A and B are shown apart, each in its own frame.
Chain A
Amino acid sequence: DTGVSQDPRHKITKRGQNVTFRCDPISEHNRLYWYRQTLGQGPEFLTYFQNEAQLEKSRLLSDRFSAERPKGSFSTLEIQRTEQGDSAMYLCASSLGDNFGGYTFGSGTRLTVV
């Protein structure tokens, strides 16, 4: 297993465009998390899945954001009508079971909205 993979690593888009990011977790991990990190800050929770069920969404996740995890494997995070404030690093992490074992993070997708 090569760990958590995120694609693309970098995305530059014009304001108003839609973007979609993909995350492939560690195969045996049943939990998948999306976080957003802006410069100089720690990661902020966006949403998480247990298998294919989306169990929690942050208030940070406006109606323009949607996440899916079909079949409990890979996940996608879509941002519609991007705004400059959406510019950030989007991190995906996976874990097995509860939080005690820690998360394995991907390398992130750096989004720049121009």
Chain B
Amino acid sequence: TQLLEQSPQFLSIQEGENLTVYCNSSSVFSSLQWYRQEPGEGPVLLVTVVTGGEVKKLKRLTFQFGDARKDSSLHITAAQPGDTGLYLCAGAVQGAQKLVFGQGTRLTINP
């Protein structure tokens, strides 16, 4: 059983469209992070959210942490081919000293 469930697992859209990726759990997290991973490389940190209800923007990417700190979303506006990659959410369970990762959302943006 996956502690963090990401949806969708695969998403293929046209350049210029908007999209949202979800990360859900029944557990409460002290922090939640989003990473992007390209083939053959390690994940790269995009953002960390800590406070319930928090919203962070990174250019065309908007990240939201749920009020109860159990879920998060990543919204991309006007997607570009350079956004293609595997998007991973990762949570720090309260009291634990490690991150647990979702299974990832593989995003493909077609020109």
Contacts and interface: CB of A to CB of B under 8 A. Distances in A.
The number of chain B residues touching the other chain, given as a range, is 20 to 34
A16 to B, nearest CB: 27
A56 B40 contact: no
A107 B41 CA distance: 5
A25 interface: no
A93 B43 CA distance: 9
Interface residues of A, number: 28
Interface string A79-114: 000000000000101000011111111111010000
Contacts of A48: 97-98
Given A55-B97, A56-B98, A99-B30, A41 B103 contact: yes
**Among A45, A50, A93, A99: residue with most chain B CB under 10 A:** A99
B48 interface: yes
B50 A107 contact: no
A23 B42 CA distance: 13
Given A93-B42, A105-B42, A108-B42, A100 B48 contact: yes
A99 B104 contact: no
Nearest to A42: B101
Nearest to A45: B98
A99 B50 contact: no
18 contacts: A40-B103, A42-B104, A43-B88, A43-B101, A45-B98, A56-B97, A56-B98, A98-B92, A98-B97, A99-B31, A99-B98, A102-B33, A102-B48, A103-B99, A104-B45, A106-B42, A107-B42, A110-B40
Given A42-B90, A43-B101, 17 more contacts: A4-B42, A31-B97, A33-B99, A35-B101, A43-B43, A48-B97, A56-B98, A91-B43, A98-B92, A99-B30, A99-B33, A99-B92, A100-B92, A101-B48, A103-B33, A103-B43, A103-B45
Interface of B: 4, 6, 30-31, 33, 35, 40-45, 48, 50, 88, 90, 92, 97-104, 106
Interface of A: 4, 31, 33, 35, 40-45, 48, 50, 55-56, 91, 93, 98-108, 110
